[in-house]
Structure 1
Amino acid sequence: MNLRHLCTAPHVKVYFDSWNNWLYIEWEGALTLPAVQYACLEVAQCFVKHAYPRVLNSDAQVTSLPWEVVPWLTKHFFPYLELAGIEQLAWVHAPVVRAFGLSAQVREQLPYLNIGVFADLENATSWLQQTNPAYEGSHVPLPRPVAGETLLAQAVVHFKQALAHQGIDAELAARP
């Protein structure tokens, strides 16, 4: 992997892998709902200017995931994945049982998305590398059509306002 750092938030780091032409999202630690909400905002902002149709999401270093995270993600975050332009997602599930259930739920909720669920990063990487999308080989983030960029930017602004209204910021997200 040839990683270019895009952003960091408590419990998550986001990179663009120019060698494989995908977004790499790496989660870690004991997650809380505010941490996941804030991190999802940071991740969403990465998609506003560029489309990343392929995503490698690793939860391998997640040590705990509270029950309220799953319904929040299902209702408030996953519906925007299509707008973000994600087409393929290799998901390395966390060793905690609830996280594996989350990846299975995403698969059911987002039938348009080609999702592979894996127990380790090696198999997830291999699966995503074997896909052969039409844009393979460009090794640069793809620009988003202006109309899609506007819709996504508006959604991210609303998301940010909703979190601010709830008092969720980087400081709260970093608390255990």
Structure 2
Amino acid sequence: MNLQLLCTAPQVTIYFDSWNNWLYIEWEGTLTLPAVQYACLEVAQCFVQHSYPRVLNSNAQVTSMEVEVIPWLTKHLLPYLEMAGIQQLAWVHAPIVRAYALAPQVHKQLPHLNIGVFSDLEDATSWLQQTNPAYLGGHVLLPRPAAEETVLAQTVSQFRQALEHHGIVAETAIYQSRW
């Protein structure tokens, strides 16, 4: 992997892997609902800037997750993954029981998305590399049609406004500045 740091937020670091041409999202620690909401906003911002058809999402370093996280993700994030242009998603599940419930939800809500669920990063990386080997070895960010770009940008803006309305963005920004 050749990782270029795009963003950090509490409990998540987001990279672009220019060798494999995918977004790599690495979660860690305790996933609280406000931290996940803010992190998802940061991830969404990455998709506004570029199209990433392939995503490697690792929860391998997640130690715990609040019970509210999975219902929120299922209702407020998963429906928008296809809008973001994701075609292949390699998902490394967390080593905690609650996290096992999320993968079936992703499959159920996104039947057209090519999803692989794994228990380790090595297997996930190997699978994702095989899903579209034409991308290997090149730094190619695919363009998104202008109409889709506008809809995605508006959706992310509305998401940010909703989080600001509930104080999530301000709360997390203060938390993040203490790091």
TM-score, normalised with respect to structure 1: 0.94
Partner-residue secondary structure (3-state), 1:16: strand
| Paired position in structure 2 for 1:71 | 71
Q: Percent identity?
A: 74
C-alpha contact (below 8 Å) 1:35/1:173 kept by paired residues: no
Aligned counterpart, 1:62: 62
What does 1:14-163 align with in structure 2 at a 5 Å threshold? 14-132=14-132, 138-163=138-163
How far apart in 2 are the matches of 1:88 and 1:7?
21
Q: What RMSD, in angstroms, separates the aligned Cα atoms of the two structures?
A: 1.6
Deviation (angstroms), 1:104: 1.7
* Structure 2 unaligned residues grouped into runs of 5+: none
Judge conservation of contact 1:32–1:66 (CA < 8 Å) in 2.
yes
Q: Which amino acid aligns with 1:140?
A: V
1:168 is matched with which residue?
168
Partners in 2 of 1:6 and 1:102 — Cα distance?
25
Q: For residue 143 of structure 1, give the secondary structure of its aligned residue in structure 2.
A: coil
CA contact (8 A) 1:52 1:142 kept: yes
Q: Which residue of 1 aligns with 2:8?
A: 8
TM-score (norm 2): 0.92
C-alpha distance after superposition, 1:112-160 (max 9, x if no partner): 1100000000000010011126655542222221111100000000000
- Indicate how the Cα distance of structure 1 residues 105 and 4 shifts in structure 2: closer, same or farther if over 3 A, else same: same
